């Protein structure tokens, strides 16, 4: 049993038709996953993974198949396949990415697990986890020497001046679903601005091609999920009262 799990940090939909949701909790050195679809007598209903030392874990997210990523306050990303060993414990991470050393506030993962998105205070980080052969760093071999270059995304200096931003202090960035049902947009907020990037454009190196929508109120978070598109994300902004 893991003690002092302080917070449920992520819900991921059951994409297999039962209508239930799984949830995750974590503290500085442990992750806890519960699957309510399983009978309460099933010993694998609640799964854990704990480190012996303080890993300064700070964020987690899952893909559509139950694979998950962890971020921490020293800028590291850990990718897990979500599988358990014979003792019912979660297997160790498949891939460790050193990142940029800045504290990670939030992580998000596309449904298929290919793209990982990290949020720091001043910039976002996009990571392509796909390895040769089509597998990802979640379920194949460790990315190791095949680890990709991280793509750093932020506002241009000109726009920071234009909108009077002394610092970005980005809220948790997320992948948003388009009309086709595929995540095609990256959305975050800073101050009273909703900022969105085309995923395809960022992958082509156009990191300063984005849209900015002033909201008139200071935004503290955005809500998202399947069916939420770029055109509706402004309506899902949570403003400070």
For the stretch 209-241, pLDDT in tens is 999 999 865 555 555 444 344 443 444 444 333
Does residue 88 register a pLDDT over 80? Answer: no
For the stretch 7-42, pLDDT in tens is 444 544 443 334 456 678 888 999 888 766 655 555
- Domains of the chain, start order: 1-153 (2.130.10.10), 154-224 (no CATH)
Q: What's the pLDDT band for 66 if we cut at 50, 70, 90? A: confident
H/E/C letters for each residue in 45-60?
CEEEEECCCCCCEEEE
Q: What's the pLDDT band for 147 if we cut at 50, 70, 90? A: confident
Q: In terms of DSSP bridges, do strands 174-177 and 210-214 run parallel, antiparallel, or are they unpaired?
A: unpaired
Are 195 and 211 in contact by the 8 Å Cβ rule? The answer is: yes
pTM comes to: 0.81
pLDDT of 89: 80
> For residues 181 and 96, what is the distance between their CA atoms, to the nearest angstrom?
30
Q: What's the pLDDT band for 124 if we cut at 50, 70, 90? A: very high
Stretch 94-121: mean pLDDT: 93
What are the start-end ranges of the H helices in the chain?
157-162, 199-203
What are the start-end ranges of the H helices in 83-184?
157-162
């Amino acid at each position: 049993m893991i003690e002092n799990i302080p917070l449920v940090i992520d819900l991921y939909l059951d994409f297999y038709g039962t209508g239930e949701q799984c949830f995750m909790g974590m503290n500085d050195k442990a992750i806890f996953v519960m699957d309510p679809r399983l009978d309460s007598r099933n010993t694998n209903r609640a799964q854990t993974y704990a480190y012996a030392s303080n890993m300064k874990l700070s964020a987690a997210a899952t893909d559509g198949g139950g694979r998950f990523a962890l971020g921490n306050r020293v800028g590291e990303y850990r990718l897990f396949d979500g599988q358990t060993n014979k003792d019912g414990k979660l297997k160790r991470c498949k891939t460790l990415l050193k990142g940029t050393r800045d504290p990670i506030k939030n992580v998000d993962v596309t449904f298929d697990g290919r793209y990982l998105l990290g949020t720091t205070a001043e910039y976002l980080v996009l990571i392509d986890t796909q390895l040769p052969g089509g597998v990802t760093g979640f379920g194949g071999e460790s990315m190791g020497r095949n680890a990709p270059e991280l793509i750093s995304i932020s506002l241009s200096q000109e726009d920071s001046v234009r909108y009077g931003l002394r610092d970005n202090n980005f809220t948790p960035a997320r992948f948003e679903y388009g009309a086709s049902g595929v995540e095609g947009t990256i959305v975050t907020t800073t101050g009273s601005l909703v900022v969105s990037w085309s995923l395809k454009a960022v992958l082509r190196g156009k990191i300063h091609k984005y849209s900015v929508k002033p909201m008139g109120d200071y935004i503290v978070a955005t809500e998202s999920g399947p069916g939420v598109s770029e055109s509706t994300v402004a309506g899902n902004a949570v403003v400070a009262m």
